[in-house]
Amino acid sequence: MSKKIEKDEAHFEKHMHDGHRGRLLATVNETGLFYLSQVQILEFILFYIFPRGDVNPIAHRLLAKFNCISAVMEAPFEALVKVKGMGEASAKKLQSLLSIFDIYNIDKINSSASVANFGIFLDNIEMLLRNKNEECCYIFAVMPNGNINYGRLFSKGDAGKVDFEVTEISSYISTYKVKSLIFVHNHPGGSCFPSLHDMETNERLKHFLKFCGVHLYDSIIIGKNGIFSCETNSIRREFGRKPCKLDNLTDYQKVMLQTTEEE
């Protein structure tokens, strides 16, 4: 094959793919993502990772390996780079997209949540943490006017390993001059009721904040069954479960903790 023919074919292929991108973008703008196939949706996502070229084969390979879009988005870096067409840079870019969604939810809290409309705060932390597959801890400041601000990811790791660092909390307090804090973390796949480690950590946190002249407004835990408030020792919101008619909340906690351990 002559170099001219090869060049012409490469030029045709490039513009064919550019046309495909334009058509897919037009479809998304007209009908939205929900009417597209899984491959098309993933292609559209990959447009942000690969500014040029045909991403359809990569989308097919990613779905073949991880089965669904959510699994692709949450896939470990080591697994992503093994997929043909996904280099280290593209794998890092793909992983960063979920962080953008987290920033969106944090910003919604910073711009609209307060202790007076705590439900909005719960809405956004539910979106932020309910489906995370690793344990994450966030810190929020309660301002004198009651607004909830300055949300920040504090730590993350395997279940049961999230803890607080004195120096980081001290830095946060001095930076934002806060007098009241909310801590939020999740139990991936587990009950929202506090573990023994959670309760011990919460007590140490209270003592430390009291020493700093700061009030712990609440510690919130998000689990598969709901959102738990350590301050009120109660479930603030239940997920997909009918009200439980046990005599007291302590019994409820014991049942849920036992169920979680058995699973």
Sign of the Cα pseudo-torsion (181, 213, 165, 94, in order): positive
Query: Are 35 and 164 in the same domain?
Result: no
Query: Are 43 and 84 in the same domain?
Result: yes
Query: Are 88 and 186 in the same domain?
Result: no
List the pLDDT tens digit at each of the 263 positions of the chain: 554 434 433 433 444 455 788 899 898 888 888 889 999 999 999 999 998 889 999 999 999 999 999 999 999 999 999 999 999 999 999 999 988 988 998 998 988 999 999 999 999 999 999 988 889 999 999 999 999 999 999 888 765 555 667 888 999 999 999 999 999 999 998 899 999 989 999 999 999 999 999 999 999 999 999 999 999 999 999 987 554 444 455 554 555 555 544 44
**Residue 103 included in any domain:** no
**Residue 170 included in any domain:** yes
The model's pTM? 0.74
- Number of domains into which the chain is organized: 2
Q: The domain that contains 158 carries what CATH number?
A: 3.40.140.10
Of 43, 70, 96, which marks where a domain is finished? Answer: 96
Of 53, 71, 96, which marks where a domain is finished? Answer: 96
What pLDDT is stored for residue 14 in this prediction? 46
Query: Are 253 and 161 in the same domain?
Result: yes
Query: Are 75 and 42 in the same domain?
Result: yes
**Residue 101 included in any domain:** no
Query: Are 158 and 184 in the same domain?
Result: yes
**Residue 106 included in any domain:** no
Query: Are 59 and 126 in the same domain?
Result: no
Please choose, from the candidates 245, 227, 225, the residue with its C-alpha nearest in 3D space to the C-alpha of residue 236. Answer: 227
**Residue 105 included in any domain:** no
Query: Are 238 and 125 in the same domain?
Result: yes
The CB density around residue 98, as the number of other CB atoms within 10 Å, is 13
Q: How far is residue 155 from each of residues 41, 61, 158, measured CA to CA in Å?
A: 31, 33, 10
**Residue 210 included in any domain:** yes
**Residue 104 included in any domain:** no
Query: Are 30 and 76 in the same domain?
Result: yes
What pLDDT is stored for residue 163 in this prediction? 63
Query: Are 38 and 79 in the same domain?
Result: yes
Of 61, 96, 131, which marks where a domain is finished? Answer: 96
Residue range of the domain that includes 59: 3-96
Query: Are 33 and 78 in the same domain?
Result: yes
Tokens of 117: 């409309």
**Residue 245 included in any domain:** yes
Residue 12 Cα to chain centre, angstroms: 41
What pLDDT is stored for residue 172 in this prediction? 94
Query: Are 150 and 239 in the same domain?
Result: yes
Q: The domain that contains 79 carries what CATH number?
A: 1.10.150
